[in-house]
């Protein structure tokens, strides 16, 4: 293929993704939803203008790694310390409840034939997709309502961050069980080993970066070396530990998140993301999904998937809130605040697709979940806060 053929694909993706991203925003849904729909339209499902190529897949792979690295970089470790225990348990239950409910739901649909079987792993993966909270819409809603900085707001935000870490651990373990075909024990050991090594190397790398950053703050070399570190950790994770590259990228971000210039790095990554790699990643999800395979059965599955995903988060998180001493309305707000899903759910699904654990057609369920949760959350939160005001910060 001539190099310039790539330009055509990229131009179509950029224009379509931006166009539908803006339309999505008009409908108060996240732009990524529009970008995926753009992919559905320009892809084989409808117009057939762009097909999946090796080049696009590799660009998309870089796109995900950039997204996860940025997510890691934006982690605020201080917030975590402050709300500590409560947030930890909110996150824990916010991960475990959907994981269990999602798995059971899949098995109800397609039958149970024993632990550790192919089908069980698929079910487990559907549960895994349900685990990751995307807090950005909740943050936006809380900010508008004036409750972002209170105890409730901080707990939700911290829980969502811890939720990400836990979600990635679950993903790592579940993928490991499939990939290596190895035992759960082996996967656990590899995962543990990776995190231990990453933390060990992380301490050294963090110090190097901190010293370097002090000497040359706000220079190009800082984000470039940061990106290189992220790529190295992604590579090492996949190559030597059989762990998802996005885990490596996320951990690289968390390692560097306390640097003075972490925001500066995140900003540069963000520009690279939204200019090219991000649209390519999200649109390529749409391009890979063939809408013609969408059946009534799958529609039914998707509806139940959305309901289970939302309710399980609300139940899990609200219960912990109540036990931690919040009143019922505040506990409920916590549950609703944690129920939004976003990019990470897609990224996880993408990994599952690559590992052969789910079919592309299930992306539709995930897309529906993102749309519904991101429209419903701000509305429900607003009415809850209006009916039952919380003490302000």
**CB closer to a second copy out of 278 and 335:** 278
Cβ distance to a second copy smaller for residue 224 or 307: 224
Residue closer to a second copy by CB (options 105, 225) is 225
Of the candidates 34, 94, 223, 337, which one interacts with a second copy according to CB under 8 A?
223
Contact 127, 100 (CB under 8 A): yes
Does residue 47 bind a second copy (CB under 8 A)?
A: no
DSSP character at residue 217: T
Stretch that binds a second copy, among 194-202, 274-282, 287-295, 338-346 (CB under 8 A): 274-282
Applying CB under 8 A, does 231 fall inside the site for a second copy?
Answer: yes
DSSP assigned state of 226: H
Question: 371-374 long-range contacts, Cβ below 8 Å, gap at least 24?
Answer: 371/29, 371/33, 372/306, 372/310, 373/137, 373/306, 373/309, 373/310, 373/339, 373/340, 373/341, 374/28, 374/29, 374/30, 374/33, 374/137, 374/340, 374/341, 374/342
Give dist(CA 188, CA 178) in Å, integer.
Answer: 13
Binder to a second copy among 41, 42, 61, 353 (CB under 8 A)?
61
Judged by CB under 8 A, which stretch of 32-40, 102-110, 199-207, 224-232 contacts a second copy?
Answer: 224-232
Scan residues 278-297 and list those touching a second copy (CB under 8 A): 279
Nearest distance, CB of residue 8 and a second copy, angstroms: 5
One of 23, 44, 49, 55 touching a second copy (CB under 8 A): 55
Q: Read off the tokens for 261.
A: 């210039």
Helix axes 278-288, 31-42, angle to 10 degrees: 50
User: Considering beta carbons, is residue 10 or 126 the nearer one to a second copy?
Assistant: 10
Binding status of residue 220 toward a second copy by CB under 8 A: yes
Shortest distance, CB of residue 26 to a second copy, whole angstroms?
13
Interacting residue with a second copy among 47, 196, 271, 300 (CB under 8 A): 271
Q: Are 170 and 99 in contact (CB under 8 A)?
A: yes
Q: Which of 103, 138, 234, 302 binds a second copy (CB under 8 A)?
A: 234
User: Smallest distance, Å, CB 223 to a second copy?
Assistant: 6
Taking CB under 8 A as the rule, does residue 221 contact a second copy? yes
Residue 249 or 345 having the CB closest to a second copy = 249
| Closest alpha carbon to 261 in 214, 303, 301, 224 | 214
Question: Are residues 329 and 154 in contact, defined by beta-carbon separation less than 8 angstroms?
Answer: no
Q: Which residue from 2, 111, 114, 185 is in contact with a second copy, where contact means CB under 8 A?
A: 2
**H or E, element range at 5:** helix 3-26
Q: Which helix (H) or strand (E) holds 75?
A: none
Long-range contacts of 16-21 (CB under 8 A, 24+ apart): 16/41, 16/42, 16/283, 17/279, 17/282, 17/283, 18/279, 21/279
96 forms part of the interface with a second copy (CB under 8 A): no
7 contributes a contact to a second copy by CB under 8 A: yes
| Shorter beta-carbon distance to a second copy: residue 54 or 297 | 54
Query: Quick one: tokens of 41?
Result: 């339209």
With CA atoms as reference, report the closest residue to 163 among 337, 355, 358: 337
Binding segment for a second copy (CB under 8 A), chosen from 178-186, 196-204, 237-245, 357-365, is 237-245
Interface residues with a second copy (CB under 8 A) are: 1-8, 10-11, 14-15, 18, 22, 54-55, 57-58, 61-62, 65, 220-221, 223-225, 227-229, 231-232, 234-235, 238-239, 245, 268, 271-272, 274-276, 279
């Amino acid at each position: 293929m001539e190099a310039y053929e790539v330009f055509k694909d990229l131009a179509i993706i950029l224009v379509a993704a931006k166009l539908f991203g803006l339309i999505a925003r008009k409908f108060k849904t996240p732009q990524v939803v529009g970008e995926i729909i753009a992919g559905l339209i320009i892809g084989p499902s409808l117009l057939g203008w762009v097909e999946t190529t090796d080049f696009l897949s590799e660009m998309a792979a870089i796109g995900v790694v950039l997204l996860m690295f940025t997510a890691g970089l934006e982690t605020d470790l201080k917030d975590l310390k402050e709300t500590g225990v409560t947030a930890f348990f909110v996150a824990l239950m916010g991960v475990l409840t959907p994981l269990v409910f999602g798995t059971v739901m899949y098995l109800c649909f397609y039958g149970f034939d024993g632990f550790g079987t192919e089908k069980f792993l698929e079910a487990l993966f559907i549960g895994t997709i349900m685990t990751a909270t995307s807090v950005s819409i909740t943050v936006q809603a809380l900010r508008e309502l004036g409750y972002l900085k209170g105890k409730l707001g901080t707990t939700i935000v911290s829980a969502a961050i811890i939720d990400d870490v836990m979600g990635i651990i679950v993903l790592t373990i579940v993928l490991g069980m499939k990939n290596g075909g190895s035992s759960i024990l082996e996967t656990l050991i590899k995962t543990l080993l990776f995190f231990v090594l990453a933390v060990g190397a992380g301490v050294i790398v963090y110090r190097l970066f901190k010293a370097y950053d002090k000497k040359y703050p706000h220079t190009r070399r800082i984000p470039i070396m940061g990106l290189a570190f992220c790529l190295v950790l992604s590579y090492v994770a996949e190559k030597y530990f059989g762990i998802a590259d996005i885990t490596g990228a996320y951990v690289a971000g968390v390692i560097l998140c306390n640097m003075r210039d972490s925001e500066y790095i995140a900003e540069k990554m963000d520009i690279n993301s939204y200019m090219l790699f991000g649209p390519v990643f999200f649109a390529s999800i749409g391009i890979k999904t063939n809408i013609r395979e969408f059946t009534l059965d799958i529609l039914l599955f998707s509806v139940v998937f959305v309901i289970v995903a939302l309710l399980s988060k609300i139940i899990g998180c609200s219960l912990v809130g109540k036990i931690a001493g919040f009143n019922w309305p505040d506990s409920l707000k916590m549950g609703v605040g944690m129920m939004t899903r976003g990019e990470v759910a897609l990224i996880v699904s993408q990994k599952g697709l690559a590992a052969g654990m789910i079919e592309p057609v299930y992306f539709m369920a995930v897309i529906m979940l993102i749309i519904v949760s991101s429209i419903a959350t701000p509305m429900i939160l607003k009415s809850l806060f209006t009916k039952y005001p919380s003490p302000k910060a």
